[in-house]
């Protein structure tokens, strides 16, 4: 008992376990960096429309500048060539609008006038089957759309005006960038160390190649859609087939909503010709859209942008998921640029003995040495012209978007 009492007394006399308090102190520098990052994200989100204007302007520059340079090579002054190119673009757009808008307006007016009769025919046809009877009841009770909310109409008008304003800003920005090409290029080269000017000039040339390839892909797919729609509507006997096919080709440029804009007017135009022709045109257009998205686009853009077909599909899906229609529209050139920059900026690892890489490195060293000799004492604008001339002289070494 004495031992048990002593043991209990000794246990009771043990000091209590001390609790340590952990304190996290955030350095002022960390707080400043976090606030700076938040401010940068906020500023970026606020400037997204401006950045989009710049991106569209750069696309226009990359598309039109090769044409201007081709005119320069034929002895036309640069400013005169720019004026000719922009006037030609404006005339082309005006002609397309003059061809398509009146016919589309006529089709829309006819649809509004014949809508009740067409609805009654569709209801009678759908009511013949038990499967389609619920759809017939829904169509019978459908009274159309009416814009009665003045605030919604005003908001739509404001958005339309904003889009037109941004589009015009992109056009004029591209015009000024092309007119001030030497100064803009000189400022860019002045911001980059001279040791990297040859690589910078190569990147600029490849960026122009990417834009040109993307535009060529758009032209090919739009032309194929225009031709297919014209042949289909001509066979169906639809009036205004030229205007509808041109509109379908132009709308085909837009991802996701492009197929709807391409198919919708063409299908609606066949309604006066009977339900059979409407179903035939709808099915043919649907099959062509599937063929284009699954086969033509991966192959055409993959060849134009030097991208694998699988990367084309993944880029379109990722761009559409992240940025919607605009994201999908920019997905392919962005993917090509990322792939090009990844290859261009990759470090030269020791032990690589690839013949193409060795030849590229040898040319890089020779070109850089020649550039440093020729550009000694020049300002940034003159040095930029020399770097681009040397790089362009490389011929087929630079005619691809990225080394394969």
Which pLDDT score, from 0 to 100, does residue 28 have?
77
Q: d(Cα 185, Cα 401) in Å, to the nearest integer?
A: 20
**Number of residues that make up the chain:** 404
Q: Which residue, among 254, 65, 48, 323, has the nearest Cα to 166 in the 3D structure?
A: 48
> Angle, to 10 degrees, between the axis of helix 197-236 and the axis of helix 380-392?
60
- Ranges of residues in the chain with a pLDDT under 70 are 1-25, 110-119, 122-123, 125-126, 129-133, 135-136, 138-153, 156, 346-361, 394-404
3-state secondary structure of 403: coil
Q: Where are the domains of the chain?
A: 46-135+156-179
Do 214 and 332 contact (CB within 8 A), yes or no?
Answer: yes
Which pLDDT score, from 0 to 100, does residue 7 have?
53
Determine what percent of the chain is predicted with pLDDT higher than 70: 76
Q: d(Cα 232, Cα 245) in Å, to the nearest integer?
A: 9
Count Cβ atoms below 10 Å from residue 72 Cβ, excluding itself: 14
Count Cβ atoms below 10 Å from residue 50 Cβ, excluding itself: 11
Q: Judge if pTM exceeds 0.75.
A: no
Which pLDDT score, from 0 to 100, does residue 81 have?
92
Q: Which residue, among 59, 64, 96, 95, has the nearest Cα to 81 in the 3D structure?
A: 64
Containing H/E element for 203? helix 197-236
Which region, left, alpha or beta, applies to residue 274 given φ > 0 means left and ψ of -120 to 50 means alpha?
Answer: left
Distance from the Cα of residue 222 to its chain's centroid: 15
Q: Which residue, among 270, 100, 84, has the nearest Cα to 178 in the 3D structure?
A: 84
3-state secondary structure of 393: coil
- DSSP string covering 95-156, please? HHHHHHHHHHHHHHHHHHHHHHHHHHHHHHHHTTSTTTHHHHHHHHH--------HHHHHHH
With vertex at residue 155, the alpha carbon angle to CA 150 and CA 159, rounded to the nearest 5 degrees, is: 150
Which region, left, alpha or beta, applies to residue 397 given φ > 0 means left and ψ of -120 to 50 means alpha?
Answer: alpha
Which pLDDT score, from 0 to 100, does residue 142 have?
61
Cβ contacts of 64-67, under 8 Å, gap ≥ 24: 64/89, 64/174, 64/178, 65/178, 65/181, 65/208, 66/208, 66/212
CB neighbour list of residue 49: distance below 8 Å, 6 or more residues apart: 166
Which pLDDT score, from 0 to 100, does residue 339 have?
86
pLDDT tens digits for 9-61? 555 555 555 566 666 667 778 888 888 989 988 888 888 888 888 888 888 88
Q: Which residue, among 224, 231, 245, 236, has the nearest Cα to 295 in the 3D structure?
A: 224
Instruction: Tokens for 227, please give them.
Output: 């031709």
Which pLDDT score, from 0 to 100, does residue 229 have?
92
Count Cβ atoms below 10 Å from residue 327 Cβ, excluding itself: 18
């Amino acid at each position: 008992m004495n031992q048990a009492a002593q043991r209990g007394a000794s246990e009771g006399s043990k000091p209590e376990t001390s609790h340590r308090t952990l304190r996290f102190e955030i350095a002022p520098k960390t707080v400043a960096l976090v606030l700076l990052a938040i401010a940068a994200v906020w500023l970026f989100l606020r400037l997204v429309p401006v950045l989009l204007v710049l991106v569209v302007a750069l696309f226009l520059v990359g598309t039109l500048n090769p044409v201007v340079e081709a005119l320069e090579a034929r002895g036309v002054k640069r400013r005169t060539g720019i004026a000719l190119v922009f006037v030609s673009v404006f005339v082309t757009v005006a002609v397309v609008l003059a061809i398509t808008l009146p016919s589309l307006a006529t089709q829309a007016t006819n649809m509004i006038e014949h809508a009740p009769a067409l609805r009654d025919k569709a209801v009678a046809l759908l009511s013949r089957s038990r499967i389609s009877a619920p759809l017939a009841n829904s169509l019978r009770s459908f009274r159309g759309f009416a814009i009665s909310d003045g605030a919604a109409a005003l908001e739509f008008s404001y958005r339309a005006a904003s889009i037109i304003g941004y589009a015009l800003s992109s056009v004029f920005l591209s015009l000024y960038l092309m007119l001030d090409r030497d100064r803009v290029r000189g400022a860019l080269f002045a911001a980059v160390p001279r040791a990297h000017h040859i690589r910078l000039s190569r990147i600029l040339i490849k960026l122009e190649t990417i834009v040109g390839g993307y535009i060529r892909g758009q032209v090919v797919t739009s032309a194929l859609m225009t031709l297919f729609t014209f042949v289909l509507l001509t066979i169906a006997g639809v009036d205004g087939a030229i205007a509808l096919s041109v509109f379908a080709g132009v709308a085909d440029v837009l991802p996701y909503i492009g197929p709807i804009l391409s198919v919708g007017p063409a299908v609606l135009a066949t309604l006066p010709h009977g339900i059979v022709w409407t179903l035939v045109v709808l099915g043919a257009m649907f099959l062509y859209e599937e063929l284009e998205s699954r086969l033509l686009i991966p192959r055409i853009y993959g060849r134009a942008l030097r991208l694998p077909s699988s990367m084309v599909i993944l880029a379109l899906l990722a761009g559409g998921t992240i940025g919607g229609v605009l994201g999908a529209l920019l997905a392919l050139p962005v993917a090509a640029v990322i792939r090009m920059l990844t290859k261009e900026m990759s470090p030269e690892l020791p032990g690589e003995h690839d013949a193409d890489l060795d030849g590229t490195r040898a040319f890089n060293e020779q070109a850089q040495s020649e550039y440093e000799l020729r550009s000694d004492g020049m300002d940034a604008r003159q040095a930029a012209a020399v770097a681009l001339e040397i790089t362009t002289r490389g011929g087929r070494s630079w005619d691809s978007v990225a080394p394969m």
